Structure 1
Amino acid sequence: MGNALNLISKHSALPALSHSQGENMNLEGFVMGTEFSTSLRQIAEADVKTFLDLSLLKNPIFMDDQAAQQMGHPKRILPAPL
């Protein structure tokens, strides 16, 4: 794996919300599948390792592509807080 994880969003039939549109919404205001745009940030491999070490998250789907694939993901995934 390279220096940074490649984050690809899934496309939805529902329109994406801009930051200003979703800014004042609460959880009940979102429909499943709606995309919400936020500021972009590239997450490096070191960021993931540091987060997992500090949070004590040891789920293999965050650390191993093969484990993530066994759970139906194309490759390992990021923990939601990242």
Structure 2
Amino acid sequence: MRSHAARHVDDPRTLLLTAPGWVRTDLGGPHARLTAGQSIPGVVDTVEAQSGKGGLRFLAHQGRTVRWVGSRVPSSTWDRRVSRPA
């Protein structure tokens, strides 16, 4: 996603990655903290809150920014380069 966003800096679309949290599913297992019913409304609210903002964001289901792991560019610098003003 980051390489796509870097190649399409002038693209006004919002590119959004969401982390749904640790959800009780076959993948998350029975000890996960959230049910799907707890996670999904947060994901939907997060997506709706970003509508029309443009740029690339990686957000948790509560709307908080998730830090990019392994980034060589500090996230604050990346946000300035990729994000577009509202």
TM-score after normalising by structure 2: 0.26
TM-score after normalising by structure 1: 0.27
For CA contacts below 8 A with separation 6 or more, give which structure has more relative contact order: 2
